[in-house]
Amino acid sequence: MTISANPVRGTRDYLPKEMRLREAMQNIILNVYQEAGFQRIHTPILEDIERLDKSDGGENLNLIFKILKRGQKLDLTKENLTENDLADAGLRFDLTMPLSRYYANNRAELRMPFKVIQIDQVFRAERPQKGRLREFFQCDIDIIGDESSRAETELIHTTAKALKALGFTDFTVRINDRRILTGLILTAGFQPEDVGSVCITFDKLDKIGAEGVKKELLEKGYPENVVEKFAGSLLAGGISDLSAAGELCGNPEAAAGLAAIMDRAKTLAAGSYNVEYDPSLVRGMGYYTGTIFEIASPKFKSSIAGGGRYDKMIGKYLGEDIPAVGFSIGFERIFEILSESEEIPFALGKDRLALLYNAEDDFIEVIKKAEELRAEGYAVATMVKAKKLGKQFTNLEKDGFLGAHILGEEGIKIFGARE
Amino acid sequence: MTISANPVRGTRDYLPKEMRLREAMQNIILNVYQEAGFQRIHTPILEDIERLDKSDGGENLNLIFKILKRGQKLDLTKENLTENDLADAGLRFDLTMPLSRYYANNRAELRMPFKVIQIDQVFRAERPQKGRLREFFQCDIDIIGDESSRAETELIHTTAKALKALGFTDFTVRINDRRILTGLILTAGFQPEDVGSVCITFDKLDKIGAEGVKKELLEKGYPENVVEKFAGSLLAGGISDLSAAGELCGNPEAAAGLAAIMDRAKTLAAGSYNVEYDPSLVRGMGYYTGTIFEIASPKFKSSIAGGGRYDKMIGKYLGEDIPAVGFSIGFERIFEILSESEEIPFALGKDRLALLYNAEDDFIEVIKKAEELRAEGYAVATMVKAKKLGKQFTNLEKDGFLGAHILGEEGIKIFGARE
């Protein structure tokens, strides 16, 4: 009996032609990031289970893949076993918690501001659905150790530049500040301890609409007059003016800071993308402390990039707060958009040639000829010449080969040039 | 109280300077592989637990990180719980089993011979020790669908080319054939069902010596005359002549095939590396069916690359055998060797410049100047100019910067050129 060959639910295989696109995407993003002075690091996929549990990861904490203890550490005879008895590690669900741990662990070797790139896999046990994988890549840049809003400016500029290099044009950077959002929630009459819960509901505005948000808040038991006041200001989009929002929430300084970030972003965009204040922007994670931002494209229903400032996270590992802000490109969303587009606006690796030979040819001569063609800049795959050469050519062209050379004959047959 | 910032036992963080080396290594390897007509694929890190358990992975089966079931699937109230009740997935321990599953799953989209690259992470819960990580990268090339030994030739040639591109010179390709090895074990008088167990012991020859192997075989209860005969032929290195080994084991065809592979490899090496028949080469995995090979370097105690033919593995998923052979570069071993060497024989990314400015400067002007320098080909990191400029320069040089530009001043200060 054969064993099933399907990948684990919620994960997928990538075909060579998909990998060509993914590799080109990654190279473009990485090049923009590195050119901008960011440096790549790598952290383990495995993380300590307690660390993951204490990470303010919001809803993601319910989506952690946990690793079974091994050897004598796994005691199945214990009564009333809990998951904590069974697991000692888990797979990271984002790259921000590992980065904060990394900074605390390696601080002696790092200088501030630390401008860092992470392009790596994360894991979330989400209900599988189109465009939502359990194992996927994120592309993050972060600046650690710069409390000034120049860090936000640089992240927005660099992320936008990467998106433009990927061929995206008409996107919008939406900005908010958690301090303004929190201030407006408190002004409506909610208690400080309710802010997190209100944010979780408010974050669903795109999905369930203003009425849905009101309904859920009432169901959560908040007073009707408070919910109405909240609806009147934030839900109705009444605070679309940033300085008015700053006054209303009692934090005009935060509003002025956000206005300065937006001004600089607009100047650097020079019309190539939009920058907007979005009073309803929440971002799910519990760890954001200031500016939050995301990028929306008309090509995709949800955001294609997102991030924000998290000045209190590294302190949990270091015992001392260090300012930090990050921006993450949704690699899988970009891949989904590009793999469904008619034309890819960038090159996908080297031109590929097939070197066709007869099985009885001296294979040393085959390899030597292949190396000659490789020295000319081609990627060259050797393969036995089929009896039906026309069909072989058709298949090779379908597989993305530029052309073929037949051992012992002259020149290269370019497929596109065939009559 | 702060949370520990240490990575999970057996895993590690990589600093920016380490990542520069790792990225350059990966680019070099990938470029050689792609130029040789291989194509990259990607499979999930998560694999089905049953599939892992049934994979002939030898000792690695005891080193699988298992993933706890989630939600209602995890029933902790059941009596006599076993690991199988608790886990439904695991982390892959190599890239060969996932590739075989991948080929069976995607066969309709793939053409033979399928020449494939995998550069990805694998996980093994080994006892942590120097140079042995629980989470590490492998770089594999495989050829699926070519039963001829041209596949072996191409893999050896391409892997050796990648090692040469990484600056390795005086390495040795050691070759054997599982059919010859098995034949010699049977000729000594072992039973067919003992071959696997004898191989596991024989594989320890490097570590425990000929006497240690004899001792372990006797302890396993094999007859003394059989063990002695085995020691007389294989352990004493008596069968260093390939054609004699072929005669003795009753499979002269396998020996002739191996001789042809070696001849071609030597011709293509043209003296740039050594090729040797190694009758004591075993390779741990249970799935090899024919040629096996590894590469040894005087710079490292164990092999730096290894692989072989596994013609029966894909059939487990497809219900039909497909010839397959692969070669894997030990990325972490190469990294260990290179990171300890005085000089790296290849370039590590773009030249990096620091663009220094005063906090009160217009940050738009800072970014514009940075973009000018980036357009000249530099990677440019912006940062505030320190009061002690000399110390800042020293630190920047230590961090690998080529030089600095101070906003508003002329030219670039190249650190190496300082008096």
Predicted structure pTM score: 0.94
* pLDDT above 70: residue A308: yes
Band of residue A62 on the pLDDT scale cut at 50, 70, 90: confident
CA–CA min distance A2, chain B (Å): 5
B188 phi/psi in degrees, rounded to 5: -65, -20
Kind and range of the H or E element at B355? Answer: strand B352-357
Q: Quick one: pLDDT at residue A235?
A: 66
Q: Quick one: pLDDT at residue A239?
A: 64
Q: What is the C-alpha separation between A31 and A155, in angstroms, rounded?
A: 15
Kind and range of the H or E element at B154? Answer: helix B150-165
Exposure b/e, A367-398, CB count within 10 A at least 16 = b: bebbeebbeeebbbbbbbbeeeeeebbeebbe
Q: What is the pLDDT averaged over residues A223-236?
A: 84
- Mean pLDDT, chain B, whole residue set: 92
Q: Do B381 and A12 touch (CB under 8 A)?
A: no
Q: Quick one: pLDDT at residue A418?
A: 47
Virtual CA dihedral for B5, B10, B16, B18, nearest 10 degrees? 160
Task: Using the structure block, give the residue that is written with the tokens 């924000």.
Answer: A308
Q: Are A264 and A153 in contact (CB under 8 A)?
A: yes
* pLDDT above 90: residue B200: no
Which is higher by pLDDT, A236 or A376? A376
Task: Count other C-beta atoms under 10 Å from residue B186's C-beta.
Answer: 16
Q: Do B317 and A4 touch (CB under 8 A)?
A: yes
Question: Which of B12, B13, B287 to probe by mutation at the A interface, max A CB count within 10 Å?
Answer: B13
Give the CA angle between residues B52, B54, B58 to the nearest 5°.
Answer: 85
Which of A113-122, B20-29, B72-81 is least confident?
B72-81
SS3 label, residue A405? strand
* pLDDT above 80: residue B289: yes
> Which of residues 286 through 315 in chain B touch A, CB cutoff 8 A?
315
Q: Quick one: pLDDT at residue A417?
A: 63
Q: Are B124 and A70 in contact (CB under 8 A)?
A: no
Band of residue A78 on the pLDDT scale cut at 50, 70, 90: confident
> Which of residues 59 through 78 in chain A touch B, CB cutoff 8 A?
65-68, 70, 74, 76
Which of A127-131, A315-319, B80-84 has the largest mean confidence? A315-319
pLDDT tens string B49-64: 999 988 877 778 889 9
Residues of A with Cβ-Cβ distance to B37 under 8 angstroms: 352, 354-355, 370, 379-382
Q: Quick one: pLDDT at residue A419?
A: 42
Band of residue A26 on the pLDDT scale cut at 50, 70, 90: very high
Amino acid code (one letter) for B389: L
* CB proximity B82 to A under 8 Å: yes
* pLDDT above 50: residue B144: yes
Q: Quick one: pLDDT at residue B239?
A: 64
Distances (CA, A) of A13 to A27, A174, B41, B99: 20, 33, 8, 10
Q: Quick one: pLDDT at residue A245?
A: 86
Nearest chain B residue to A401 by CA distance is B37
Q: What is the C-alpha separation between B285 and B263, in angstroms, rounded?
A: 26
Q: What is the pLDDT averaged over residues A213-230?
A: 92
* pLDDT above 90: residue B384: yes
Q: What is the pLDDT averaged over residues B214-230?
A: 92
- Mean pLDDT, chain A, whole residue set: 92
Q: Quick one: pLDDT at residue B419?
A: 42
Exposure b/e, A29-45, CB count within 10 A at least 16 = b: bbebbbbbbbbbbbbbb
Q: Quick one: pLDDT at residue B418?
A: 47
SS3 label, residue A209? helix
Q: Which of A81, A135, A364 sits opposite B45 (nearest CB)?
A: A135
pLDDT tens string B265-274: 999 999 999 9
Q: What is the C-alpha separation between A119 and A22, in angstroms, rounded?
A: 12
- Burial class, A210, CB count within 10 angstroms (exposed 0-12 / middle 13-18 / buried 19+): middle
DSSP state of A62: G
Q: Quick one: pLDDT at residue B417?
A: 63
Q: What is the C-alpha separation between B123 and B107, in angstroms, rounded?
A: 26
Q: Do B44 and A359 touch (CB under 8 A)?
A: no
DSSP state of A149: T
